[in-house]
Amino acid sequence: MVRNSIKQMLRMPVRGVSFLLLIAASGMLLTLGAVLWITDNSLVRSYEDTFITIGTVEQKAFSVQQVTRWDAERKDYQLRQKAVYSKLLPVSLLFFEGADYIHEPEKRSYYGSYAPDYTLVSKVNNAELATVVAEISPLEDCIPDESVKVRVNKVFFGSPSLEGTSLWFCNHHTQNPKPLQKEKSYAVVLILHSWAHGAHYEAEAGAGARTLEYIPGETAAIQYGPDGMLMKDSLEREWAEDSPYYEVTDGFYDTDIGQRLLNAAKGLYMYANTQPVTGTNATILLMPFYNGDAYISEGRDIGEEEYKEGKQVCLVPRKFAENNSLTLGSMVHLRLYYTNNKNTAGQFFRPDGSGGGQGLLIDVNGKTLSVFEDSQYTIVGIYDISYGADQGSYSMGGDEIIVPVNSIKNRDARNIIAYGPMMGYTTSFQIPNGSIEKFLAAWEKYGTEELEITFYDMGYSQIKSGLENRKHMSLVLLVVGLLMVSFLLLFYSHLFITNQKKRTAIERCLGMEKKKCRRSLLSGMLILLLAGSTLGCSLGGVLSRHISIDLNQVYYDASYSSVADVKAKDAPKVGSENTVLALVTSLSATVFIILFGVGISIIKIDQNLKLEPMELLSEKRRE
């Protein structure tokens, strides 16, 4: 019977070959569309779990104010620009109808922890502050409206080697400074400034020589209340002091200003032994971790519940852990004594231990800042900094520790030395992937023009758009393949079965049973179906696998090469998974086509077999 069916097919070679090729082509389209559609849906779900969308917030300046400052070297006032804000806007403005957050907006502060018992990177690299508290005497009577030479009589804070040496001193930003007398000693806060200048310097050092000068620092404290309002310094007179250096007389250090200078020296000593601590509600909200400049190299991240409940756990930098022989599970002693609500630790604490000072760490009464929170934290993770990472406002600070902000009981309430508007490096939030347009639409309705929001989604929006286009394309291929299969099976079953009424009648007249007739008619169709569907679906599987791998690699490279620090285990695995998917789908498509074809063929055959042989012959003659 099978041999007879094959002979019948060979008598119609054009029909047989065309059916074979067309069913192979439709099977290829069906498999290709199915694999790509399944792959794209899987990728969308994978990328939704892998990608992260962060928004940063910056308050726009209301205007720019021009301020002047005297420059002793140029003998003229220099113009400077200062941003002016209408008022400092609260984070609560970011909570509005339609805002959907994964991690709610936060304006982060960083805290100074007094850490004399730890080996900090500044100590390892012998980094020194550019501030000195000392007594000085001029080598001759002079007016320090240019660089003049003074002798250091006593050092209260700074390098002890300075004592007994000479340095260049200038009241650089005061037009008419107080004179200095040779036989007198003056207490002063010295700040390393820039190149020495003026007639005195050139006469001694020679033209073209380069030596740094020191200028006097302010003795007034800068301290804010929890409401962000600048507190009034107790020494109002000193606030406007143009020449903040003071003649040392008997009992000078018992006076308010004398005590203030001694306390300033103690505060600077504390600052030289300070470790920055940042409180947050999610590690990913810190831009260095988001953009891959920082990553957890040992242990784990702080968990969501730990952040929420304010557990005393922390992340520490690798160098700090190594310098202090700390490991996962070790305890870290944090003694917080000041709050900075304006800057990030990276702006003052460089990874090499260098960095600028933050003024005199004293309160408005001239007292040394006291520790307001003393706690022990458990190390759960150790992080490292990527080679070539940015340094500045968006960077991690040297020895910076990360803790849950809810673990700091006195957060944003004590010893606030800096307070400023929301900036991109201090204020951020996380929203669901793909929801930027929805968020902006709601913000357009309820937000304010004074806040500028910038989104970072690792390229998710562009990638999702491309994947959606691929999904539509693959769906078209799938539908076209399915329609082609249906049409071809209906059409060729008509040619190979319905039109074979004469053959069926003859076989019936020759005494062949219905079951054998059905087998005879079906076997040829089945052979072509098996060959064509296997060939086409196999080609579709191979082709879809290569297309998926190539396209996925393009998306992976474009999205991860320069933005997020996504570990390889988090990225979608397209090689082995696509091989299995292509194999399973091609087999499934092959089985589907064969079963579909067999089902249609059996229906057609049964329609023929319901008629008696003579009826079949008469119908054939009428056709």
Residue 398: CB atoms within 10 Å: 28
56-65, 404-413, 425-434, 541-550: which range is least confident on average?
A: 541-550
Residue 10: the pLDDT is 54
Grade residue 434 by pLDDT with cuts at 50, 70 and 90. confident
What confidence tens digit (pLDDT) does each residue in 451-509 have?
A: 999 999 887 777 777 777 778 888 888 899 889 888 888 887 767 665 555 555 555 45
The angle formed by the CA atoms of residues 139, 145 and 151, to the nearest 5 degrees, is: 25
* Residue 570 in this model has a pLDDT that exceeds 80: no
What is the per-residue pLDDT for 492? 75
SS3 label, residue 70:
strand
User: How many Å is the maximal CA-CA distance in the chain?
Assistant: 140
CA 541: distance to chain centroid?
Answer: 37
pLDDT band at 562 (very low <50, low <70, confident <90, very high): very low
pTM score, whole prediction: 0.78
Q: In what order do the strands lie in the sheet with 103-107?
A: 103-107, 427-431, 53-59, 451-456
| Percent of the chain at pLDDT exceeding 90 | 47
Closest CA to 594 of 521, 523, 520: 523
Per-residue pLDDT at 42 exceeds 70: yes
Stronger pLDDT, 218 or 338, i.e. the higher one: 338
Both tokens of 530, joined, read 């098996």
Is 70 exceeded by the pLDDT of residue 64? yes
In single-letter form, the type of residue at position 9 comes to M
Q: What would the mean pLDDT of 567-596 be, rounded to a whole number? A: 71
Mean pLDDT, residues 280-299: 94
Mean pLDDT of 141-166: 94
Lowest mean pLDDT among 297-311, 333-347, 410-424, 608-622: 608-622
Query: Which pLDDT tens digit goes with each residue over 81-139?
Result: 888 888 899 999 999 998 999 999 999 999 999 999 999 998 877 667 889 999 999 99
Question: Mean pLDDT, to the nearest integer, of 595-603?
Answer: 82
Q: CA-CA distance, 244 to 233, in Å (whole number)?
A: 15
Mean of the pLDDT values across residues 384-399?
Answer: 86
Instruction: Answer yes or no: are the C-beta atoms of 156 and 133 closer than 8 Å.
Output: yes
- With bands split at pLDDT 50, 70 and 90, how would you rate the model's confidence at 560? very low
CB 431 within 8 A of CB 53: yes
Task: Give the least confident one: 235-249, 296-310, 344-358, 530-544.
Answer: 235-249
Average pLDDT over residues 355-370: 87
Structure-block tokens of residue 249: 């007389």
